[in-house]
Amino acid sequence: MTALATPYYLIDKAKLLQNMEKIAYLREKSGAKALLALKCFATWSAFETMRDYMDGTTSSSLYEVRLGREKFGGETHAYSVAYADNEIEEVISHADKIIFNSIGQLERFADKASGIVRGLRLNPQVSSSTFDLADPARPFSRLGEWDVARVEAVMDRISGFMIHNNCENADFSLFDRMLSQIEEKFGALLKRAEWVSLGGGIHFTGDDYPLDAFAERLKAFAGRYGVQVYLEPGEASITKSTTLEVSVLDTLFNGKHLAIVDSSIEAHMLDLLIYRENARIEPDTGPHEVMVCGKSCLAGDIFGTFRFERELKVGDRISIQDAAGYTMVKKNWFNGVKMPAIAIRELDGSVNLVREFTYADYEQNLS
Residue 20 CA to chain centroid, in angstroms? 15
Output the pTM of the full model: 0.96
Annotated binding site: 235, 271
**pLDDT at 3 (0 to 100):** 80
CA distance 14 to 20: 10
Which residues, other chains included, contact 130 with Cβ-Cβ below 8 Å and sequence gap of 6+?
Answer: 167, 168
Q: Which residues in the chain land under pLDDT 70?
A: 1-2
What domains appear along the chain, each with residue ranges and CATH number?
Answer: 13-237 (3.20.20.10), 242-323+331-365 (2.40.37.10)
* Burial per residue of 57-73, b for 16 or more beta-carbon CB atoms within 10 angstroms, e otherwise: bbbebbebbbbbbebbe
**pLDDT at 51 (0 to 100):** 97
Annotated binding site for substrate: 235, 271
CA distance 284 to 292: 12
For helices 211-225 and 13-30, angle between their N-to-C axes, nearest 10 degrees? 40
CA dihedral 296, 301, 306, 309 (to 10 degrees): 10
E strand segments, the chain: 8-12, 33-37, 56-58, 75-80, 97-100, 117-121, 160-162, 195-197, 228-231, 242-253, 257-261, 288-293, 302-308, 317-320, 341-345, 351-355
Q: In the chain, helix, strand, coil percent, each to 5?
A: 30, 25, 45
